[in-house]
Amino acid sequence: MPTRRDVIRSGAVVGAAAGTSVLSPFASASGAPATATADRRAHAVRLPHDPFTLGVACGDPEPDGFVLWTRLALDPLAADGLGGMPSRGVPVEWQVASDERFRRVEAAGVVVAHDRGAHSVHVEVRHLKPAREYWYRFRAGGFVSRIGRAVTAPRPDAMPRELAMSFVSCAQYEHGFFTAYRRLAEDHPDLVLHLGDYQYEYRADDYVAPGGNVRDHEGPETVDLASYRQRHAQYKTDADLQLAHAAAPWVVVFDDHEVDNNWAGDVPEDAADAPGFLARRAAAFQAYYENMPLRRTSVPRAGHIQIFRRVQWGRLATFHMLDTRQFRDDQGCGDGYRTDCPAAVDPRRSITGGRQERWLVDGFNRSQARWDVLGQQVFFAQRDSDQGPLKTVSMDAWDGYQASRDRITRAWVEAEVRNPVVLTGDVHAHWASELKLDYDDPTSRSVGTELVCSSVTSGGSGADTALTAHPWLAWNPHLKMQNSLRGYVRTTIRPEELQADFRCVEQVRTPGAAAFTRASFVVEDRVPALNLVGEQAGRQAQRAGSTPLAVSDTQRWETERP
């Protein structure tokens, strides 16, 4: 297992090597130095080795810019969560260029990274051109970061020919290697959505994958600001994750494990933890903001954080990014699978809260997009795990808040949203489903589609089964596909269709596994139906096959701790 010393040493070597190829002078957009004062500030603090051990990122693209992020850490795994940095502020230069060699610098400046924000940097770049590629980098303490790639969104009135967008979720550091992030980066997307469970709160070996864990969490279970900062830093040291962040702008939302498993509003998973939970949640929100490429509108205030928001991609797509944790009512009848729980159909209960629901419905009514995409966390369609007359569903998913789901579904139908698509993470398996107003009537028309990505690592390597082998598909005919190998979903969104490629890695127990497309579905414009256009079994299928054992094991793990 890598030690703290190994992490520091490898970060310094990689960062220095990356930096030596890009040590041309930092300059302003005009080609002149960024100002003598800024240059003096940037050189005022010298650091003993590379502070860019956590990589770089950008996010929330708009037609004229995006957010740049980095966080300085000399000792990423320091127990106090401050990354071994000095207590004083450290000036950080940043540059954005229209070419990879930084011959044409379009924007530049200096910001100060302070210990009160764990030496994180958030730069909201403006005045760039729409629908363009840009490259960015930072310099601090005499060291230069790796180069990241950014993309601006198209003009609001533009109709792009296509958008390459991938989405991903659920990366448990101990359960495997983050190869899926590397393969995602190699696809060269223009946009990445992370739908939650970016990091996990458990202490080492508290959550063990089938076959055992292959890496260890540093430190105890995350319960305070120092431990959340340390855990985020440990994840950010992963080279595959750093590569994915540097490849494209990300739009991020959290799920439960960024705070506490299955938390709901102001209620923790374990009632015994209730007295200190709001302080714990506030610490988790602060660390999340510090470690993500988020705008100032997401700075935590009074114990809350604003993460539901929209990202518009011209007239092609609008991404409605949801928060299904912070404002939900507590799960009814517990947070597992329950049979005919009255709370599941209680119209007073909500998974989004009233304000967010009104915001979402207003977005449907105003939308001019060809595709309206809901980026959110938990399974949206009904998944009844009971073949008999009774319904047994997950109380943590939208099945536990059926009136909330019905209101939102009816809202997009009544608003005549042209192509509603729901994107989901959480369940550690690929799924594809069609959405209904009445799931009890198999003949009722479909009114949308849902694409669910598997985990990056959570649950271990998983198993490759036939796309329709999962038994629940037999009595949930709107569910069209399931596979529990790890991976991500790659989409190509065009005016006439959306294609979703369910990408899988063969295993996660060793680094460097190959990726392949297990299944491809197309959703045509104005036709809310999933059309299978290609499938490929992995080599693992010859070993695991579609045996009942593999399928039941998938259900067991998904039910226990998604």
CATH of the domain at 89: 2.60.40.380
CA distance 518 to 537: 6
C-alpha to C-alpha distances, 151 to 40, 134, 372, 480, nearest whole angstrom? 31, 6, 20, 34
CATH number at residue 410: 3.60.21.70
Q: Are residues 418 and 380 in the same domain?
A: yes
Let me know whether 177 and 59 are in one domain.
no
Residues in contact with 415: Cβ distance below 8 Å, sequence separation at least 6, in sequence order: 361, 364, 365, 367
SS3 67: strand
**Cα(161)–Cα(186) distance, rounded to whole angstroms?**
21
Tell me the backbone φ, ψ of residue 202, rounded to 5 degrees.
-70, 150
Between CA 19 and CA 97 the distance in angstroms is 16
The sheet carrying 120-125 orders its strands as 120-125, 65-71, 56-62, 250-252, 191-194, 163-168, 486-493, 497-505, 515-524, 531-535
Question: Is there a single domain that holds both residue 99 and residue 175?
Answer: no
In a domain, 156, yes or no: no
Contact between residue 56 and residue 245 where contact means Cβ atoms under 8 Å apart:
yes
* Residue at 275 is within a domain: no
CA 205 to chain CA centroid, nearest Å:
23
- In this prediction the pTM is 0.93
CA–CA distance, 559 with 562 (Å, rounded to integer) = 6
Spatial contact of 137 and 95, defined as CB atoms under 8 Å apart: yes
Instruction: Provide the domain limits for residue 21.
Output: 4-151
Residues 124 and 183 in one domain: no
Are 466 and 492 within one domain?
yes
Euclidean distance between CA atoms 35 and 26, whole angstroms: 10
What is the rounded CA–CA span in Å between residue 278 and residue 265? 9
Range 378-394 burial, b when 16+ CB lie within 10 A, else e? bbbbbbbbeeeeebbbb
CA atoms within 13 A on the CB side of 175: 24
Check: CB of residue 136 under 8 Å from CB of residue 96.
yes
Q: Coil, strand or helix: which one is 319?
A: strand
Same domain (yes/no): 475, 499? yes
User: Token digits for 360?
Assistant: 């979402």
The residue from 119, 151, 183 where one domain ends is: 151
Residues 359 and 437 in one domain: yes
Is 64 domain-assigned? yes
Count the neighbouring beta carbons within 10 Å of the beta carbon of residue 308: 20
465 and 541 co-located in one domain:
yes
* Other Cβ atoms within 10 Å of 444 Cβ, number: 12
Residue 517 and residue 538: Cα distance in Å, rounded? 9
Is residue 204 one of the residues assigned to a domain? no
Q: Give CA–CA dist 56/48, Å, rounded.
A: 20
Residue 385 DSSP label: -
How many CB atoms sit inside 10 A of residue 366's CB? Answer: 11
Same domain, 346 and 492: yes
Q: How far apart are CA 269 and CA 545, in angstroms?
A: 35
In this structure, are 88 and 189 located in the same domain?
A: no
What are the two backbone dihedrals, phi and then psi, of residue 357, each rounded to the nearest 5 degrees?
-60, -45
**Residue-wise pLDDT tens for the chain (562 aa)?**
545 544 443 433 333 333 323 334 665 443 334 445 555 666 678 999 999 999 999 999 999 999 999 999 999 999 999 999 999 999 999 999 999 999 999 999 999 999 999 999 999 999 999 999 999 999 999 999 999 999 999 999 999 999 999 999 999 999 999 999 999 999 999 999 999 999 999 999 999 999 999 999 999 999 999 999 999 999 999 999 999 999 999 999 999 999 999 999 999 999 999 999 999 999 999 999 999 999 999 999 999 999 999 999 999 999 999 999 999 999 999 999 999 999 999 999 999 999 999 999 999 999 999 999 999 999 999 999 999 999 999 999 999 999 999 999 999 999 999 999 999 999 999 999 999 999 999 899 999 999 999 999 999 999 999 999 999 999 999 999 999 999 999 999 999 999 999 999 999 999 999 999 999 999 999 999 999 999 998 876 444 333 333 333 344 444 444 5
Per-residue CA distances from 111 to 31, 91, 93, 152, 342 (Å): 19, 6, 6, 22, 53
Same domain, 167 and 89: no
End residue of a domain, out of 151, 180, 215: 151
Measure the CA–CA gap between 84 and 96, rounded to whole angstroms.
28
Burial class (CB in 10 A: 0-12, 13-18, 19+), 39: middle
The pLDDT score that the predictor gives to residue 126 is: 99
What single DSSP character describes residue 264? Answer: B
- Assess whether 44 and 118 both reside in one domain: yes
Task: Give the Cα separation of 499 and 515 in Å (integer).
Answer: 18
Number of domains in the chain: 2
Cα of first residue to Cα of last residue in the chain, in angstroms, is: 26
Q: Which two tokens stand for residue 439?
A: 């799931």
| Nearest CA among 370, 413, 317 for reference residue 526 | 370
Give domain status of residue 279, yes or no.
Answer: no
For residue 512 the two structure tokens come to 């460097």
What does each C-alpha distance from 535 to 79, 519, 528, 538 come to in angstroms?
Answer: 46, 4, 20, 10
Q: Examine residue 201 and state whether it is found in any structural domain, yes or no.
A: no
Residue 442 is predicted with a pLDDT of 84
How many other C-beta atoms are found inside a 10 Å radius of the C-beta of residue 211? 12
Establish if 207 belongs to a structural domain. Answer: no
SS3 labels along 484-543? CCEEEEEEEECCCEEEEEEEEECCCCCCCCCEEEEEEEEEECCCCCCEEEEECCCCCHHH
Residue 214 located in a structural domain? no
CB neighbour list of residue 232: distance below 8 Å, 6 or more residues apart: 199, 287, 288, 290, 291
Whether residue 267 contacts residue 332, with contact meaning beta carbons closer than 8 Å, is answered with: no
